[in-house]
Structure 1
Amino acid sequence: MHELGVKLGRVLAAGDLVILTGPLGAGKTTLTRGIGEGLGVRGPVQSPTFVIARTHPSLVGGAPLVHVDAYRLANIDEIEDLDLDFEGSVVVAEWGSGLTGTRDSWVEIVIERPVGGDSEPEDDATEDAPIEPRVITVTGHGTRWHDGVIS
Structure 2
Amino acid sequence: MSAEERLVIADPEAMERFGARVAAELRASDVVLLTGELGAGKTTFTRGLGAALGVRGTVTSPTFVLARTHPRESAAPLVHVDAYRLSDAAELDDLDIDFAGSIVVVEWGAGLVEHLVDEWLSITIGRPTGGGASGPDGAAADPDVAPVEPRAVTVTGTGERWADLGWIHAARD
Give TM class, smaller chain.
0.7 to 0.9
> Which residue is 1:13 aligned to?
27
Unaligned runs of 5+ in 2: 1-14, 134-144, 169-173
Note if contact 1:5-1:31 (Cα within 8 Å) is conserved in structure 2: yes
Note if contact 1:112-1:134 (Cα within 8 Å) is conserved in structure 2: yes
* Cα distance in 2 between the residues matched to 1:27 and 1:21: 10
Identity %: 57
Unaligned runs of 5+ in 1: 120-127
Query: Which structure has the highest strand share of the two?
Result: 2
> Which residue is 1:122 aligned to?
none
Using structure 2 for the length normalisation, give the TM-score: 0.77
Say whether 1:134 aligns with 2:151. Answer: yes
> Which residue is 2:95 aligned to?
82
Equivalent residue pairs, number: 142
Note if contact 1:13-1:90 (Cα within 8 Å) is conserved in structure 2: yes
> Which residue is 2:5 aligned to?
none
> Which residue is 1:116 aligned to?
130
Letter in 1 for 2:164: D
- Counterpart of 1:36 in 2: which secondary structure? helix
- Counterpart of 2:106 in 1: which secondary structure? strand
> Which residue is 1:63 aligned to?
76
Deviations for 1:28-82, whole angstroms, at most 9, x for unmatched residues? 00000011112111121000000000000013x2211000000001211111221
Distance 1:53 1:28, change over 3 A: same
Name the structure, 1 or 2, with higher relative contact order (CA <8 Å, separation 6+): 2
RMSD: 1.7
Letter in 2 for 1:30: T
| Structure of larger gyration radius | 2
Using structure 1 for the length normalisation, give the TM-score: 0.88
